[in-house]
Structure 1
Amino acid sequence: MDIVTFPLGHMQTNCYVVSNGREAVAVDPGGDPAPLIDHLEAKGLTLTAILNTHLHFDHTGGNKALSEATGAPIMANDADAYLLETWLGRGGDMGLPPIDPYEWKNLGPGDTILAGVPCSVFHTPGHSPGSLTFYFPDAGAALVGDLIFYRSIGRTDFPGGDLDTLKRSVRERIFTLPPETRLLSGHGPETSVADEQNHNPFVGGF
């Protein structure tokens, strides 16, 4: 398996391309997907799905363009559908342009196959009601969106956020993974389960 990071959009949201053989999925294309499309073409990869950890605009800005370029369906959790009626989902605030509307399908929690390999989809609300985490055990990696960051956690002051819920998601879904599991966040550097258990001032157990 291979996981490549592309910081996209005005907020440099980490978009991840997870590939195995010739099959790939993209997670959170937050801006112009041109670099990602170039990567897919250079590696001869077929994109089979576009996954959103949540439906905040900085994670979905490239959804429509990427889907049109590749034919891949867009998937997210329907608990975040209400966000598309607000600036948090549509963009167009804070001096940023609105994003192009897109069609998407509901994705619920459970075990599935993505990019041809096993993936456990966790419902990890707190940053938003429909936040998802994508755990690829074969890669020893969890793509956590804005749930948890290096030494920090996601914002919970937006509508639909809840601090206690977020902490519970981290402790019950993330900190129960193997300690060496890589945590690939929506912004900033990667970290690990063990590192955040020992050093995160918001949810760590130190």
Structure 2
Amino acid sequence: MDIRTFPLGPLETNCHVAVVGTAAVAVDVGGDPAQVAQFLKEKGLALEAVLLTHLHCDHLYGVGTLAREFGAKAYGGAGDAFLLDTEVGAGGLMGLPLVPPFDWEPIAPGETTLLGQPCRVLATPGHSPGSLSYHFPEAGVVFVGDLLFYRSIGRTDFAGGDYDALIRSVATEIFALPPATLVYAGHGPATTVGDEKRHNPFFSEFAR
């Protein structure tokens, strides 16, 4: 699996594009997706899906444009649907622009297949109630959105946020993955499960 990361939009949200063969998925599209579209076209890639880790506006600005251009569907957590009726999801929060309309469908936690590989959709609430993480076990990668960052965690003071739920999500879902699993977050650099277990100050009880 080849993974390219494009920081997009007003908060430089990471749009991760995962590629296997001639198929691709885009995880979160937080701004003008022109450079993502150019990459897909130059490589001759078919966009299978847009995967949404959560429905906060800074992860959504380019979803509709990219999905429509490539005829792909967008999928996210049903528990976040209400956010699209708030400034957190629809835009306007802290002066951020409004999100252009886009279509999406709920995806349930569990096993699915993407890019011809098994994909485990993990329920990882905390940053938002419907937050999802997408684990590709064969590739050894997980896309976590704003659940977990390099040496930090996502904020929990937006609508539906829950600090205790976030800590449980990381501990029970993400830290249960193999230590070498690459963790791709919504902002900042990639990290690994093992590195965060050892060094993330919010999870000092896991350090060895």
TM bucket normalised to smaller: over 0.9
1:7 is matched with: 7
**2: CA distance, partners of 1:203 / 1:129:** 21
How many percent of aligned residue pairs carry the same amino acid? 56
**1: CA distance, partners of 2:8 / 2:146:** 15
Over residues 125-149 of structure 1, what are the superposed CA-to-partner deviations in whole Å (9 max), with x where a residue is unaligned? Answer: 0000000000111211110100000
Q: TM-score, normalized by length of structure 1? A: 0.98
Cα deviation for residue 93 of structure 1 reads 2.8
**1: CA distance, partners of 2:139 / 2:8:** 23
**2: CA distance, partners of 1:55 / 1:69:** 21
| Runs of 4+ off more than 3 Å | none
**2: CA distance, partners of 1:131 / 1:180:** 23
Contact 1:3 1:17 in 2 (8 A): yes
Q: Which runs of 5+ in 1 are unaligned?
A: none
SS in 2 for 1:94: helix
Q: Equivalences for 1:1-206 in 2 at 5 Å?
A: 1-204=1-204, 205-206=206-207
Q: Which runs of 5+ in 2 are unaligned?
A: none
Whichever residue aligns with residue 8 of structure 1, its letter is L
Whichever residue aligns with residue 61 of structure 1, its letter is Y
**2: CA distance, partners of 1:93 / 1:172:** 31
Contact 1:140 1:182 in 2 (8 A): yes
Cα deviation for residue 99 of structure 1 reads 1.0
SS in 1 for 2:172: helix
Whichever residue aligns with residue 59 of structure 1, its letter is H
Cα deviation for residue 61 of structure 1 reads 0.8
Whichever residue aligns with residue 45 of structure 1, its letter is L
SS in 2 for 1:103: coil
Contact 1:170 1:203 in 2 (8 A): no
SS in 2 for 1:26: strand
Whichever residue aligns with residue 46 of structure 1, its letter is A
Over residues 78-128 of structure 1, what are the superposed CA-to-partner deviations in whole Å (9 max), with x where a residue is unaligned? Answer: 100000000011112322210101111010111111122111110000000
**2: CA distance, partners of 1:182 / 1:140:** 6
